[in-house]
Amino acid sequence: MSAQRERLLAAIEAEIKNISKLEHTLARTKLILQEQASRLRLGTNPEIVMTSLRLAVPHETTLALIERVDPVLSSTPVERPPQ
């Protein structure tokens, strides 16, 4: 096998491994989101659910949820002078 073929094969195998990790992360995130949706339907306080999500799912997913629910919460905090 040529060196170029070996490098391409290694790159493809590395990408397959990365995709497998991503699939695992997505499946885990989906399960957590389904569980938290059920909790909301059963009457759990939304703030408690959001806190659980912040701790359990990838940061990007939490930010996307916050932006959909309350865009003000997702903006960069502005420092206020002491009163």
pLDDT in the model for residue 71 = 67
* Averaged pLDDT of the chain: 86
Model confidence at 6: pLDDT above 90: yes
| Model confidence band, residue 61 (pLDDT cutoffs 50, 70, 90) | confident
3-class SS of residue 76: coil
pTM exceeds cut of 0.75: no
Q: pLDDT tens for residues 20-56?
A: 999 999 999 999 999 999 999 999 999 999 999 989 9
Residue boundaries of the structural domains of the chain: 3-71
